[in-house]
Amino acid sequence: MPIALRLFLITTLVMIAFAANSVLGRLGLIGTDIGAGSFALIRLISGAAVLLLICTLQRKHVTGTWAGGVALLAYAAFFSYAYIALSAGMGAVILFALVQLTMLGWGLFQGERLSTLQWAGFVVAIAALVWLVSPSIEAPPLLATAAMAIAGMGWGAYSLLGRGVSDPTAATAGNFLRASALGLPVLALAISFAPEPLPPTDGILIAVVSGAVTSGLGYVIWYSVVKQLSASRAGIAQLSVPAIAAIGGVLFLSEPITLRFALSTLAILGGVGLAVLTAAPGSSKASE
């Protein structure tokens, strides 16, 4: 098989895995009686277990940081609570937009400059996101939207913390372990305030698949191919995740796609793509 075709197929598989996290989260939380706190904790522990196994088989020393664990926990916990009320596609769009906007915002805070086209994309993405969540009969619930926004900022922070890591698999394993350890008391406290039933078997299974397969293994495979992709190609690939999640929501959850959702999603992804992939001032290539 040609290398280019193999790279394309693996990248496509990983993007489907990332989108599947949204579909599985929504499926578990509305299709079973598992609670959001239990789902998040099982997902983290499952991811930690499979990544720890991989590191053990590869004789790697687990690394990671507590800051990475906190960011990962924030992402996983708020992701689960948001999907109690958000559709798979809507949640993925909000999550993806906030991840990218968080990283762009941090770059601006650090003194990075944006070109006119990048600023235009940044403004378009924010305006479209505001329109998507603004009060109307089609608007998503405010609390769920806020929770997914926090999840997106958590994942954006996690991504920033991971820049320059020499061994992403070992670092991700350590971060999952730390997030699991922190999640035990934090999510137990949350469950004490909002009691949940004992997780049913089907809910546990979905959470395990989300944590071990589409998260844990998905991250390992992604890290194995992302070094072979240019920054622009990696960015373009990630632009596909919300669209794939929306299609998954239609196919597996019978979720409708409204005109407002479709238009705002196109505007958000177009704006983010313009901001992320356009060359910055003084650079001859897309933003890293």
Distance between CA atoms of residues 89 and 269, nearest Å: 13
Query: Rounded mean pLDDT of 252-259?
Result: 88
Residues 143 and 28 sit within 8 Å (Cβ to Cβ): no
What DSSP string runs through 90-135? HHHHHHHHHHHHHHHHHHHHTT----HHHHHHHHHHHHHHHHHHSS
Q: Is residue 231 scored above 60 in pLDDT?
A: no
59: left (phi over 0), alpha (psi -120 to 50) or beta: left
Q: State residue 236's pLDDT score.
A: 63
Distance between CA atoms of residues 178 and 187, nearest Å: 14
Low-confidence winner among 86-90, 157-161, 195-199, 239-243 (lowest mean pLDDT): 239-243
> What is the pTM assigned to this prediction?
0.85
Backbone angles phi, psi at 122, to 5 degrees: -60, -45
More confident residue, 131 or 70: 70
In the structure, what pLDDT confidence band is assigned to residue 166 with cuts at 50, 70 and 90?
A: confident
Please list, residue by residue across 144-177, b when 16 or more beta carbons sit within 10 angstroms of its beta carbon and e when fewer do: bbebbbbbbbbbbbbbebbeebebbbbbbbbbbb
Distance between CA atoms of residues 171 and 65, nearest Å: 8
Q: Is residue 217 scored above 80 in pLDDT?
A: yes
Angle, CA of 124, 125 and 127, to the nearest 5°: 65
Terminus-to-terminus CA distance in the chain, angstroms?
29
Query: Rounded mean pLDDT of 207-233?
Result: 81
Q: Is 286 helix (H, G, I), strand (E, B) or coil?
A: strand
Q: In DSSP terms, which residues pair with 279 in a beta bridge?
A: 286
More confident residue, 232 or 169: 169
In the structure, what pLDDT confidence band is assigned to residue 52 with cuts at 50, 70 and 90?
A: very high
The sign one gets for the Cα dihedral 10, 216, 142, 257 is: positive
Q: State residue 131's pLDDT score.
A: 84
Q: State residue 258's pLDDT score.
A: 85
Q: Is residue 133 scored above 80 in pLDDT?
A: no
Q: How does DSSP classify residue 215? A: I
Low-confidence winner among 33-37, 231-235, 247-251 (lowest mean pLDDT): 231-235
Distance between CA atoms of residues 274 and 286, nearest Å: 10
Q: Is residue 39 scored above 50 in pLDDT?
A: yes
Cα distances from 241 to residues 147, 152, 153, 229, in angstroms, run: 19, 14, 17, 17
Query: Rounded mean pLDDT of 244-262?
Result: 89
Q: What are the residue ranges spanned by the domains of the chain?
A: 3-277
* Total Cβ atoms within 10 A of residue 127: 14
Low-confidence winner among 90-99, 132-141, 164-173, 211-220 (lowest mean pLDDT): 132-141
DSSP H helices, the chain, are 3-31, 36-57, 66-82, 88-109, 116-133, 142-161, 168-193, 201-208, 218-226, 231-253, 259-277
The closest of 153, 158, 164 to 101, measured between CA atoms, is 153
